Chains A and B, each alone.
Chain A
Amino acid sequence: MMKKKMYGLAFGLCLLLLWQGIAMAIDAAYILPSPIQVFKHLAENLPELMLVHFPITMRVVCIGTLISITLGLFLAVLMNLSLPLEKAIYPVLVFSQTIPVICLAPVFVLWLGYTEKMRVFLVVVMSFFSITVNVFDGFKAVRKENRELLKTYGGDRWQELIYLQVPTALPYFFTSLKVGVPWAIVAASVAEWFGAPGGLGNYSRIRMMSLDAAGLLAPLVIISVTALVFMALIRGLEGLVVTWMK
């Protein structure tokens, strides 16, 4: 395990060195800043990034994710309980995912203005689908034999949902969070490019306009680290809840 991680770290380090080498060869920080320049910018502006912009982005990520989870679970339960609704909603959901939602962000700006609502809306649209589809697939993954056994005890649809489908769908739910939450962070940052009073995406945009490429990339480091921290938290929570999959 350690050895595998060492290979990954070594390769990552090689890429950083390559990047550093190319940046030094080009010697034009406004086109390609070196990793050292990016980290230097990050270190110098960390208080502003973390205390001013990070909370703005995270607020949108958290609100959007909570709404996504609620909406995603609601739709999954609805489709699970009603076959006509499943047949009506599921194909539309799948089709909606062929639309590059991020490109629709300007339309959301038209509808909701440069507001927090617009940014939350984009996060929800980007991340609820994976929750709905994964949880719904989890509901359907219950073994037929288990369903039949429950029926022989006199169990109804709701009891099947509570005693069989919800526990079966839990690992699927955590998988959907592992996919959905990084998307939520990306969506919140992209939404900020279009206009926001602050936030990591907004910071990148402002730095881009002043040709400060290092400043543009510095928030991306925070975004990546945040996504990794969220993933670790979700994995930890999954380990605590889904004990039977160990």
Chain B
Amino acid sequence: MLEFKKVTFQYEGADHPLIENLSFSIEKGTFTSIIGASGSGKSTIFRLLNGLEHIRSGEILLEGKDISGMKNFCSYMPQNDLLLPWSTVEKNVCLPMRIQGVKKAQQKEIAARMLDLVGLGDVADKYPRELSGGMRQRVAFARTLCAGSDLLLLDEPFSALDYLTRISLQEWLLDQWMKLNKTILFITHDVEEALFLSKEIYVVADRPVRRMERYEVPMDYPRTREMLIRSEIQELKEELIRKMREGDERIRKVRGPRLPRKG
């Protein structure tokens, strides 16, 4: 579905490229995580996909077509919920559709459907300040779904939440993904989270990012937390942590005193 072909990218003012000749691909309908240490460049991959940054060379292809010039082909969910405090939950969820010029009646109908889907149909008229952290993230997820594309980019969406809320939202997200038939690309630095959710995991462990090591998670869906204690999963976990540590050391050696952006 999604393919990076020899992509090179450099931030303005940076001395070296952050990404160089990077190639990888994501299959349709999969749940894929990208993990790596802070500052490794994983968020930059999302910024290239959602049009906030532009590649220097190479190609990013979606269903075989170059994404430059394409609109609304992916829906982005950032780390913070970024709900607008002056708008009700329903209006927040409608925001991507308002931007895209969807008719009001249709907006309301889709928003109601999405809020029902995330189990928050009864809070449509409430304001974000009246919701808990977990509920706010679910509203943000409903908003992401309302952007209407099949490729979801989730950038550490649960990292700001407490542990119990985080694990319950991970289970909830997995459940949503199995119902929705969407392709999810998920960024995290939490190895266990990546293992629990993903079919495959890419590790960013280079600077510049020239390749990402790919690991397949040997677990079937539906998943339970108990599956994580299997010996092969534990071994994979140790391997991923080791790779991330190596990557972190390499990045520390290479990178200068200042990083232009997070990621």
Contacts and interface: CB of A to CB of B under 8 A. Distances in A.
Given A148-B52, A244-B127, A153 B96 contact: yes
B82 A163 contact: no
Contacts of A143: 82
A159 interface: yes
Contact of A153 (B72, B84, B85): B72
Interface string A138-163: 00000101101111111100010001
Given A148-B52, A244-B129, A154 B82 contact: no
Contacts, number: 50
A35 interface: no
A238 B129 CA distance: 18
Interface residues of B, number: 23
Contacts of B99: 150, 153-155, 159, 163
Given A151-B51, A155-B99, A244-B127, A167 B86 contact: yes
Interface range on chain A: under 10, 10 to 19, 20 to 34, or 35 or more? 10 to 19
B95 A163 contact: yes
A243 B98 CA distance: 22
Contacts of B82: 143, 145-146, 149
A154 B52 contact: no
A153 B50 CA distance: 9
A153 B100 CA distance: 7
Given A153-B96, A159-B99, A167 B84 contact: yes
* Pairs of residues from A and B, 4 with the lowest C-beta to C-beta distance, nearest first: A244-B85, A152-B50, A153-B99, A153-B96
Interface of B: 50-52, 71-72, 74-76, 78, 80, 82, 84-87, 95-96, 98-100, 127, 129, 147
Given A146-B82, A244-B86, 17 more contacts: A143-B82, A149-B76, A150-B95, A151-B51, A152-B52, A153-B72, A153-B99, A153-B100, A154-B72, A155-B99, A163-B84, A163-B95, A163-B99, A167-B87, A243-B127, A244-B127, A244-B129
